[in-house]
Structure 1
């Protein structure tokens, strides 16, 4: 099979445009960052440029563009007009992802694979790095893969169900968890301008330890009240959100047991919460098994929360599950490339 080769327009007086709706656009962008290219992102749709498209500034070596087009299959289309009024510069973000020591985390491993597959530079963050504090000085974005609050803070006692060793028997140097001090360091990271991205159950750390006006609408629900153990569900996407650039308005989300669904808590800070993805109002199931759809109808599947000078992105479903959910990869990728401005 011959893989498609991207096209590079020869005459591009105002630079080249990359379609931001393509997952492979992010591979191309990361390769351009590697090559030292200057990039912008469209933040106001106009002309032939769509919201979220990437712009490669004029003067970039055409040989570099040809090599990237060949490697990714992405087209570099010519811009016939000055895009400066509808776009903002972006720079490569310093991305860290939490990796706990105890027991390993499958979701963290799959997320590492996905980031590497699309060329995202990242650092694995261990407990010591988080406990060192001043995280905003070293990272722009921190990812919390799907995991329980207990495992991130540090397990105490034998795991639920009695399976596995008691962490109390592990030598101190090999114990896992960043504790309350680490949770405070992560919140300080956001308040100082960082972006914290939490996948599914990892949101419990934010809901329990941070002061945010959000709650999990399906917390404690089970059985006939609500159950979706591995299902594809219909959602609406606010494509004007920078975290949803390039997404279609109607999409599908993969929901697994342990996922979260969000409601805004009424109050003075309600406006700090923005819905990015919302479950539709009825007939939500596309494929799989869903009981109690009324528990999630018209509720948020993904939110962004302004917190101090930074932002928390909470994705309650599995947008990058086992690197298979290609239709929602961009909801993760958008948080990792910067939003311009």
Structure 2
């Protein structure tokens, strides 16, 4: 496929999102050109000006409207030049615009809780860490900030530069199960936990429940792509071993799809 300069939009919020700030540093350090976009921008701007939108942990709320960050103080207390940044991503207005952008050919990178976008898109996936339809209680499963071993499936350019396995930063990270009827040509498992002892550093109570869980998904959505990352692949700009997932998503998502051989 052919590569060209990429137009990137990075979500942030008034007052600053720590995950977005660290990702901003990564993009700056590796000399990517990008714009920082605030929640009102996603409601009003022409998103088609961007090839790829990046939503860090905390950007996208769940179906109830919870889980996203933002909102903000009374605008009257904020200097006028910063008031346009106040707000939050909403299920009713912002999420449909983001999904329309993807359907039209855009690409979205969703990390951590921002993988809620996959549920809004209606992808054939569900929460893997459940029992009898309910989230696993902490008495059975609890994995805070730890390093886990993940199996990498080399099925797309998303895994360029990776080996057969990757160590990922996992902190209460979303973990998925693909539905039995999921079309493997449109929703693809890129990284998953295939052992009952994936822990490499830290601690994990009930790690056996992760077996078969999916951490990284690539999905075709309309004419565009969704890149879904449960693990914190950019956590505080530290896990250089998984920066490749972000970089590959950016270039792959923006590529025109023409094979190099042509």
TM-score band (shorter)? 0.7 to 0.9
Instruction: Supply the distance in 2 between the matched residues of 1:187 and 1:294 (Cα, whole angstroms).
Output: 34
Deviations 1:261-297 (A, max 9, x none): 1111233656421011111222211111111223211
Gaps in structure 1 of 5+ consecutive residues: 1-87, 156-166
In the alignment, structure 1 residue 251 sits paired with structure 2 residue 155: no
In the alignment, structure 1 residue 95 sits paired with structure 2 residue 95: no
Task: Name the larger-Rg structure.
Answer: 1
User: If the length of structure 1 is used for normalisation, what is the TM-score?
Assistant: 0.65
Instruction: Supply the distance in 2 between the matched residues of 1:263 and 1:333 (Cα, whole angstroms).
Output: 25
**How do 1:183-262 residues align onto structure 2 when only pairs under 5 Å count?**
183-207=95-119, 209-218=120-129, 220-257=135-172, 259-262=173-176
Among 41, 58, 77, the residue aligned to 1:129? 41
The answer on whether the counterparts of 2:39 and 2:86 sit within 8 Å (CA) in structure 1 is no
Shift of 1:153: 7.4
In the alignment, structure 1 residue 286 sits paired with structure 2 residue 200: yes
Compute the RMSD of aligned alpha carbons. Answer: 2.1
Among 198, 211, 231, the residue aligned to 1:297? 211
**How do 1:1-341 residues align onto structure 2 when only pairs under 5 Å count?**
88-101=1-14, 103-132=15-44, 134-135=46-47, 137-147=48-58, 149=61, 150=66, 152=68, 155=71, 170-171=74-75, 173=83, 175-179=86-90, 180-207=92-119, 209-218=120-129, 220-257=135-172, 259-267=173-181, 269=183, 271-338=185-252, 339=255, 340-341=257-258
Q: Are the structure 2 counterparts of residues 222 and 270 from structure 1 closer, same or farther at C-alpha, using a change threshold of 3 Å?
A: farther
Instruction: Supply the distance in 2 between the matched residues of 1:237 and 1:144 (Cα, whole angstroms).
Output: 22
The answer on whether the counterparts of 2:56 and 2:114 sit within 8 Å (CA) in structure 1 is yes
Q: SS of the counterpart of 1:319?
A: coil
My pick for the range that moved more, 175-184 or 306-315, is 175-184
How many correspondences in the alignment?
A: 238
Q: SS of the counterpart of 1:225?
A: coil
User: If the length of structure 2 is used for normalisation, what is the TM-score?
Assistant: 0.83
Q: SS of the counterpart of 1:234?
A: strand
The answer on whether the counterparts of 1:213 and 1:270 sit within 8 Å (CA) in structure 2 is no
Instruction: Supply the distance in 1 between the matched residues of 2:86 and 2:246 (Cα, whole angstroms).
Output: 30
Q: Are the structure 2 counterparts of residues 106 and 240 from structure 1 closer, same or farther at C-alpha, using a change threshold of 3 Å?
A: same
Q: SS of the counterpart of 2:93?
A: helix
Q: Are the structure 2 counterparts of residues 224 and 271 from structure 1 closer, same or farther at C-alpha, using a change threshold of 3 Å?
A: farther
The answer on whether the counterparts of 1:93 and 1:140 sit within 8 Å (CA) in structure 2 is yes
Gaps in structure 2 of 5+ consecutive residues: 77-82
